[in-house]
Structure 1
Amino acid sequence: MKPQGNRAAAKVTARKRRQGPPVVAILMETSRSFGRGVIRGISNYARAHTTWNFYIQPGDFEQRLPPSDIWTIDAAIGRIANAALANELQKRNIPVVCLEPGPYPGPRWVTNNTRELCRLAFEHLRQRGFKRFAFYGTGTYWGNARGQHFGQLVQEAGLSCEVFAPAHQPQHDAQLQLAAWLDKLAKPVGLFAQDDLSGREAIDACRYAGVAVPQDVAVIGVDNDELVCDISLPSLSSVELNCPRIGYEAARILDGLMHNKEPESPVQVDPIGVVARHSTDIVGVEDPVVADAIRFIRERVNKPISVEDILDHVCVSRRTLEMRFEKIVGRPPHEELQRIRLQRAREMLINTDLKLTTIVRQVGFSSIQYMHRIFKRELGITPVEFRRKNRAYGA
């Protein structure tokens, strides 16, 4: 009789809960920085614009909904990673905002800009002079998408990309296969891992195989999970995603769906940028003049240096440097300077409260007006508009 009493009490509780604010299920992995960042953005939206109760289950990807006679779920936001959860959401016929590729058949209203995050990883490796590239994934939906986009970018540059994405198998066997694959790769090579945990696995496998990181294999991941990146040896470079904005936009769209307002179009959220650490701290360029020029740019990009300063350092003619630099890096030196400065300015606008005058000085732009022109030309908005757009979600 006791279980029946508990069940009856649960139903009474569910009816009482139904009288309160709507219940939104957050189906995100709380064990990873991506999930926690998205949840922060969802919470920020709800706190500012509405009142929701949240159902959330601590853990990793294997999320599930609670029994319907205990929790009345009115809507859901999540990274739907398994078919059982996708089927259950369809049965309940509730508004759902699904993040990232996966088995849920509904529209992806909010996603990472997968091609852009892959482009950042590719450019980060390419600017270090790598001509060989590889991708390591573990077969997840979003990992496969990242592998496809990265491979396309490499191919569009006229280069080739090796891929290792094994089927699900015991961890020890997979690690041994990864080590064997890394050992056989032509080197030096720039490796893009689908996320930071995979990046750390790649670094560990390199150590097992006796492959030097970053001298033989430079590794970059995704998420900028600081704990994972910092405990890697060497520390792991990573593409930082704008997770709070993803969560904020997902909550905003879900709020509209709950009021029968379908959004005009899906939202793609751009990544913030690359956080460089020791796993890619190398210039993989055989041309000594170009390698020296790249090192000079990296070490002094925060100063108001010009192409003339680079020429004085490497002691070759402008035409010689531009031809050799563009052949290897894919752009002339002045464009590389501008690209790095723009990327650092973007990161500082999002991650700091520094004034524009301070940012201009620290990234090496000649003036606020010049930085304004670069932002308008490259991004279509001013630095102030860029900061307002990207900072509101994680405040």
Structure 2
Amino acid sequence: MSRQPTVAPPRLPPAQDLAIHVLGNGTRQSDEFLKGVISHVQRHRLNWHLTHAIPQILEQLLLSAEPSLGGLRRPVAVIGFLTDPQLLRVLRSVRLPVVTCSMGTPDLPGLARVLPDDQGIGQMAARFLLAQGFRHFALWGRPLPGRTARFDAFRRTLAAAGTATTCRSFIPAADRKLDEDFLSFTGISPGPLAVFCHQDHDAAFVREFCFNLGLGVPGQVAILGVDDDPGICLRSEPFLSSVALPWNSLGRRAAEILHARLSGAEVASLTQLPPLRVVARASTGRVPSPDRLVEKIRRLIDQHPGRQWTLAAMAATVGNSPRTVQRRLHAAGMDLRRQLLNRRIDAAEELLAANHHTIDQVRERCGFNSRQAFYQAFKARHGCGPADWRSRSVG
């Protein structure tokens, strides 16, 4: 079994107050990351002096022989969004401890990376869109070098679903006949096309692209992004669905890793955290079933996930025999128990993220009869229980 690469601890000068420079990028994700860092510092009462760093000034300070520059102290470590290649070269040359959450940062000696799990993002996106009834898919965007895991996992999840699907990649800058190719691909299936975009800004571009081509969203094209950036998702018409990432938890984890390293411990060179959930909005409206009975059952589950829906109870509610309901659901490729469980977890995620109810209150409102069943359902989807998931989600 191969050993996880580690980053060796640095040698620190004695200090009462450690100057830690934080690199941001002016986004909501950056703000949440910083909140996570501050949370760890306050919880452990660390003697860290956090300073917002500007890459150019930080570079000058690191190359200077002086202990400070313009009142800014030379840092003992750097944490945050490291995207400037020149600054990265300088940091490597001075051998400063660095923990970054930038997805494009290469795996380099002495650098610890804390990143969202691309494979988990792709799996979550594919499962969500399949559950919405889509069978016709496109991937949009150009992943950074070495960052294809998100789309690769999406394709693998489609293949493992056991249903007939189509999927094609679109890279705008590399496709000279983009308009023609996209329109042609949307027309090969009787159902709408679901486009999974590498990031939210790609999703916003696809929305405008579809508008210019006269394609309705979500009627003809559904769009799903990644990051859940309200500055993008809530400024689009319709609002964009997106995979939410745990930036607060990434900040806390990055601070934990830097804390350990400054304390003399070796740390893993790469740590990955799973995505939180799909925040469903109007851009991914569910594909209606052509069977009115099946569609009625889906609406009942959506509206009342907390009810104890047995096959007999559902049959009585829709005015059909259990055998008829079972046969029609099977023909539509729908399993009542699986559909109900997925909707209950979705509802629980919404309540937990709002942070207004206790774990038990959420469990009861969403129809889970026991704490063990609730825990196991969350564990199966997210790899952790509801309490840990809430902690990752809201900090």
TM-score, normalised with respect to structure 2? 0.79
Specify the alignment match of 1:95 in structure 2: 97
Displacement of 1:313 in angstroms is 5.1
Task: Decide which of 200, 221, 226 is 1:217's aligned counterpart.
Answer: 221
Is the 1:293–1:310 Cα contact (8 Å) retained in structure 2? yes
Matched, 1:269 2:273: yes
Q: 1:76 aligned to 2:72?
A: no
| In structure 1, distance between residues paired with 2:136 and 2:118 | 21
- Are 2:234 and 2:240, in contact at CA under 8 Å, matched by a contact in 1? yes
Alpha-carbon distance, 1:207 to partner: 0.8
Q: How far apart are residue 63 of structure 1 and its match? A: 8.3
* Alpha-carbon distance, 1:234 to partner: 0.5
**In 1, are the aligned partners of 2:204 and 2:233 still within 8 Å (CA)?**
yes
For the pair 1:33 / 2:25, whether they are aligned, the reply is: no
> Is residue 99–residue 258 contact of structure 2 (8 Å, CA) maintained in 1?
yes
Partner of 1:338: 341
Alignment of 1:1-395 (within 5 A): 21-30=17-26, 32-49=27-44, 50-57=46-53, 65-67=58-60, 68=62, 69=64, 70=69, 71-81=73-83, 83-99=85-101, 101-106=103-108, 109-140=113-144, 144-157=148-161, 159-167=165-173, 180-186=180-186, 187=189, 188-263=192-267, 266-312=270-316, 318=322, 321-322=325-326, 325=329, 332-365=335-368, 367=369, 369=370, 371-376=371-376, 379=379, 386-388=386-388, 390-391=390-391, 395=395
- 1:274 to partner: Cα distance: 1.6
Shift of 1:264: 6.2
Structure 1 residues 296-305 or 312-321, which shifts more? 312-321
Q: 1:149–1:101: structure 2 CA closer, same or farther, 3 Å change rule? A: farther
Query: Is residue 79–residue 99 contact of structure 1 (8 Å, CA) maintained in 2?
Result: yes
Question: Does the C-alpha gap of structure 1 residues 328 and 196 become closer, same or farther in structure 2, counting only changes over 3 Å?
Answer: farther
2:185 maps to amino acid: L
**Distance in 2, Cα, partners of 1:139 & 1:381:** 25
Q: Distance in 2 between matches of 1:381 and 1:162?
A: 26
CA contact (8 A) 1:40 1:244 kept: yes
Question: How far is the alpha carbon of 1:239 from its aligned partner?
Answer: 1.4
Determine helix, strand or coil for the equivalent of 1:238: strand
* RCO higher in structure (CA 8 A, sep ≥6): 2
Question: Shift of the alpha carbon at 1:316?
Answer: 5.6
Looking at secondary structure, tell me which structure has more helix per residue: 1
C-alpha distance 334-202 of structure 1, shift in aligned 2 (>3 A): same
Is the 8 Å Cα contact of residues 132 and 161 (structure 1) preserved in structure 2?
A: yes
8 Å contact from structure 1 (residues 113, 271) kept in 2 = yes
Alignment-mate amino acid for residue 205 of structure 1: F
Residue 282 of structure 1, CA deviation: 2.7
- Structure-2 change in CA distance of 1:63 and 1:121 (3 Å): farther
Q: CA deviation at 1:97?
A: 1.8
Give a deviation string over 1:185-226, Cα, whole Å, max 9, x none. Answer: 235111111222221211111111100111111111122222
Please give the secondary structure, in 1, of the residue aligned with 2:216: coil
Q: Deviations over 1:8-28 (max 9, x none)?
A: xxxxxxxxxx96622223233
On the 8 A contact 1:79/1:98 being kept in 2, the answer is yes
Per-residue deviation, 1:347: 4.1
* Deviation for aligned residue 1:350: 4.1
Query: TM-score scaled by structure 1?
Result: 0.79
**What is the number of equivalent residue pairs in this alignment?**
365
